[in-house]
Amino acid sequence: MTIKVGDQLPDATFKVMTADGPGEVKSADLFGGKTVVLFGVPGAFTPTCHMNHLPGFIEHEATIKAKGVDTIGVVSVNDLFVMDAWEKASSATGKVSFLSDTDASFVQSIGLSFDAPIFGHARAQRFALIAKDGEVTFLSVEENPGEATATGAAAILEAL
């Protein structure tokens, strides 16, 4: 079942790279008492994700946060080393939190995964949501995964 507006985000643990090396962040710490924009992508460095989806959030980070957003996060079913490399290659440090859902447990629990045998495992659908204290207040899922319009920064700015 796909998560919907009004639902609470499930408990999850994301892998992240910290200044001290590999670490974790719990969903309660990420979402608790905060307004968070979270967008999901099928894969780091993939053409649409890297060249169309992520750049808008980097470019409009200050405007999004000025509308009351505490954190902008991107989640993908890539390991934390790939997510860390993507963060650095995109000059997104301090603007977007890169969250590794290595085993796809989070995107599967919210019903926003898809099977991708060509990649060897499940991937995240392209989505964007706004959560306030862990409750989903906006959700958009891209119909065409090769586009990032309904889930891009402009759509989030409009929803805020």
Residues annotated as catalytic are 49
Joined tokens for residue 68:
């009351």
Amino acid symbol at 156: I
Of 41, 105, 35, the closest CA to residue 71 belongs to 35
Roughly how many angstroms between the first and final C-alpha of the chain, as a whole number?
A: 25
CA atoms within 13 A of residue 49's CA, in its CB half-sphere: 24
